[in-house]
Structure 1
Amino acid sequence: MSIKFIIFMVVFALLLTLILWFIFRSGKNQPIKKLKKQTKKIPTKKKASLPASNPEKPKSVLSNEEVRRIIATELFKRNPEVVTHVVKQWLREK
Protein backbone atom coordinates (compact mmCIF):
# COMPACT_ATOMS: atom_id res chain seq x y z
CA MET A 1 0.00 0.00 0.00
CA SER A 2 1.17 3.44 -0.72
CA ILE A 3 1.55 6.23 1.77
CA LYS A 4 -0.84 8.46 -0.19
CA PHE A 5 -3.61 5.89 0.16
CA ILE A 6 -3.08 5.57 3.93
CA ILE A 7 -3.10 9.36 4.38
CA PHE A 8 -6.24 9.59 2.24
CA MET A 9 -8.00 6.92 4.34
CA VAL A 10 -7.03 8.65 7.62
CA VAL A 11 -8.27 12.02 6.37
CA PHE A 12 -11.45 10.37 5.02
CA ALA A 13 -12.09 8.63 8.36
CA LEU A 14 -11.56 11.87 10.28
CA LEU A 15 -13.84 13.74 7.90
CA LEU A 16 -16.52 11.04 8.17
CA THR A 17 -16.21 11.09 11.97
CA LEU A 18 -16.54 14.87 12.02
CA ILE A 19 -19.64 14.80 9.80
CA LEU A 20 -21.29 12.10 11.90
CA TRP A 21 -20.39 14.01 15.08
CA PHE A 22 -22.11 17.15 13.74
CA ILE A 23 -25.21 15.17 12.84
CA PHE A 24 -25.61 13.09 16.00
CA ARG A 25 -24.19 15.34 18.71
CA SER A 26 -26.41 16.37 21.59
CA GLY A 27 -28.71 19.28 20.87
CA LYS A 28 -26.51 22.09 22.14
CA ASN A 29 -27.07 24.30 19.11
CA GLN A 30 -30.60 23.22 18.37
CA PRO A 31 -33.12 26.05 18.48
CA ILE A 32 -34.69 26.46 21.87
CA LYS A 33 -38.47 26.56 22.01
CA LYS A 34 -39.66 30.01 22.89
CA LEU A 35 -41.71 30.05 26.03
CA LYS A 36 -45.09 31.67 25.65
CA LYS A 37 -45.58 34.66 27.85
CA GLN A 38 -48.19 33.90 30.40
CA THR A 39 -51.14 36.17 29.95
CA LYS A 40 -52.55 37.82 32.97
CA LYS A 41 -55.69 36.15 34.11
CA ILE A 42 -58.49 38.65 34.26
CA PRO A 43 -60.59 38.01 37.31
CA THR A 44 -64.01 36.97 36.19
CA LYS A 45 -66.86 39.07 37.37
CA LYS A 46 -69.19 37.34 39.69
CA LYS A 47 -72.54 36.92 38.04
CA ALA A 48 -75.06 38.96 39.88
CA SER A 49 -78.01 36.76 40.48
CA LEU A 50 -81.28 38.14 39.33
CA PRO A 51 -83.43 38.98 42.29
CA ALA A 52 -86.32 36.58 41.99
CA SER A 53 -88.28 38.19 44.75
CA ASN A 54 -88.23 40.90 47.34
CA PRO A 55 -87.29 39.75 50.83
CA GLU A 56 -90.67 40.88 52.13
CA LYS A 57 -92.63 38.79 49.64
CA PRO A 58 -92.47 35.02 49.35
CA LYS A 59 -91.81 33.56 45.87
CA SER A 60 -95.39 32.48 45.28
CA VAL A 61 -96.70 36.06 45.71
CA LEU A 62 -94.73 37.47 42.74
CA SER A 63 -96.71 37.60 39.55
CA ASN A 64 -95.28 36.89 36.12
CA GLU A 65 -95.32 40.59 35.27
CA GLU A 66 -93.22 41.49 38.31
CA VAL A 67 -90.69 38.77 37.51
CA ARG A 68 -90.48 39.97 33.90
CA ARG A 69 -90.06 43.57 35.03
CA ILE A 70 -87.26 42.64 37.44
CA ILE A 71 -85.45 40.58 34.81
CA ALA A 72 -85.86 43.33 32.21
CA THR A 73 -84.42 45.99 34.50
CA GLU A 74 -81.45 43.78 35.40
CA LEU A 75 -80.76 43.07 31.72
CA PHE A 76 -81.09 46.75 30.88
CA LYS A 77 -78.58 47.63 33.62
CA ARG A 78 -76.07 45.15 32.22
CA ASN A 79 -76.30 45.87 28.49
CA PRO A 80 -78.65 48.69 27.46
CA GLU A 81 -77.66 48.67 23.77
CA VAL A 82 -78.74 45.09 23.26
CA VAL A 83 -81.99 45.62 25.13
CA THR A 84 -82.88 48.71 23.10
CA HIS A 85 -82.09 46.85 19.88
CA VAL A 86 -84.32 43.93 20.88
CA VAL A 87 -87.15 46.24 21.92
CA LYS A 88 -86.95 48.14 18.62
CA GLN A 89 -87.01 44.88 16.68
CA TRP A 90 -89.97 43.66 18.73
CA LEU A 91 -91.84 46.92 18.07
CA ARG A 92 -91.16 46.64 14.33
CA GLU A 93 -92.63 43.15 14.30
CA LYS A 94 -95.80 44.33 16.03
Structure 2
Amino acid sequence: MAVNHFHLLIADDDDDLRAGLRILLREMFGHITEADTPAGVMMRLDENYPDLLLLDLNFARGRTDGGEGVDLLQQIHTRWPDLPV
Protein backbone atom coordinates (compact mmCIF):
# COMPACT_ATOMS: atom_id res chain seq x y z
CA MET A 1 0.00 0.00 0.00
CA ALA A 2 1.35 3.43 -0.89
CA VAL A 3 1.84 5.98 1.84
CA ASN A 4 -0.42 8.99 1.45
CA HIS A 5 -0.03 12.54 2.64
CA PHE A 6 -2.59 12.55 5.45
CA HIS A 7 -1.39 13.87 8.81
CA LEU A 8 -2.33 12.07 12.03
CA LEU A 9 -1.77 13.42 15.54
CA ILE A 10 -1.67 10.71 18.24
CA ALA A 11 -2.32 12.14 21.71
CA ASP A 12 -1.70 9.71 24.56
CA ASP A 13 0.53 9.60 27.64
CA ASP A 14 1.35 5.91 27.09
CA ASP A 15 4.60 5.62 25.09
CA ASP A 16 3.95 1.99 24.15
CA LEU A 17 0.45 2.71 22.90
CA ARG A 18 1.69 5.60 20.75
CA ALA A 19 4.46 3.40 19.32
CA GLY A 20 2.00 0.63 18.51
CA LEU A 21 -0.41 3.01 16.83
CA ARG A 22 2.44 4.56 14.86
CA ILE A 23 3.47 1.11 13.56
CA LEU A 24 -0.11 0.08 12.84
CA LEU A 25 -1.10 3.29 11.04
CA ARG A 26 2.12 4.33 9.28
CA GLU A 27 0.92 3.02 5.91
CA MET A 28 -2.36 4.93 6.19
CA PHE A 29 -0.84 8.26 7.19
CA GLY A 30 2.14 9.85 5.49
CA HIS A 31 2.87 12.08 8.47
CA ILE A 32 2.36 11.09 12.13
CA THR A 33 3.07 13.40 15.04
CA GLU A 34 2.60 12.72 18.74
CA ALA A 35 1.81 14.49 21.99
CA ASP A 36 1.90 13.05 25.50
CA THR A 37 0.25 15.85 27.49
CA PRO A 38 -2.79 18.10 26.99
CA ALA A 39 -0.45 21.10 26.63
CA GLY A 40 1.54 19.16 24.05
CA VAL A 41 -1.64 18.46 22.09
CA MET A 42 -2.46 22.17 21.91
CA MET A 43 1.12 23.00 20.92
CA ARG A 44 1.12 20.40 18.13
CA LEU A 45 -2.23 21.67 16.84
CA ASP A 46 -0.86 25.22 16.74
CA GLU A 47 2.25 24.04 14.87
CA ASN A 48 0.72 21.77 12.26
CA TYR A 49 -3.01 21.12 11.85
CA PRO A 50 -3.61 17.37 11.33
CA ASP A 51 -6.24 15.63 9.23
CA LEU A 52 -7.21 13.48 12.22
CA LEU A 53 -6.57 13.52 15.98
CA LEU A 54 -6.60 10.33 18.06
CA LEU A 55 -7.18 11.61 21.59
CA ASP A 56 -6.70 9.79 24.89
CA LEU A 57 -9.28 10.74 27.52
CA ASN A 58 -7.04 10.11 30.55
CA PHE A 59 -3.57 11.65 30.65
CA ALA A 60 -2.87 11.85 34.40
CA ARG A 61 -1.90 8.67 36.25
CA GLY A 62 -4.84 7.18 38.07
CA ARG A 63 -7.48 9.12 36.14
CA THR A 64 -10.10 6.88 34.60
CA ASP A 65 -13.15 9.15 34.37
CA GLY A 66 -12.27 10.71 31.01
CA GLY A 67 -12.88 14.22 32.34
CA GLU A 68 -9.44 15.46 31.42
CA GLY A 69 -9.87 14.39 27.80
CA VAL A 70 -13.40 15.73 27.57
CA ASP A 71 -12.21 19.13 28.83
CA LEU A 72 -9.39 19.09 26.29
CA LEU A 73 -11.79 18.07 23.53
CA GLN A 74 -13.99 21.08 24.32
CA GLN A 75 -10.96 23.40 24.10
CA ILE A 76 -9.93 21.82 20.81
CA HIS A 77 -13.38 22.12 19.25
CA THR A 78 -13.62 25.74 20.36
CA ARG A 79 -10.46 26.61 18.41
CA TRP A 80 -10.67 24.01 15.63
CA PRO A 81 -14.36 23.11 15.23
CA ASP A 82 -13.83 21.13 12.02
CA LEU A 83 -11.02 18.88 13.30
CA PRO A 84 -12.02 15.20 13.24
CA VAL A 85 -11.28 13.58 16.61
TM tier, smaller: under 0.3
Normalising to structure 1: TM-score of the pair?
A: 0.26
Pair member with larger Rg: 1
- Of Structure 1 and Structure 2, which has the larger fraction of its residues in strand? 2
The higher relative CO (CA closer than 8 Å, separation ≥ 6) is in 2
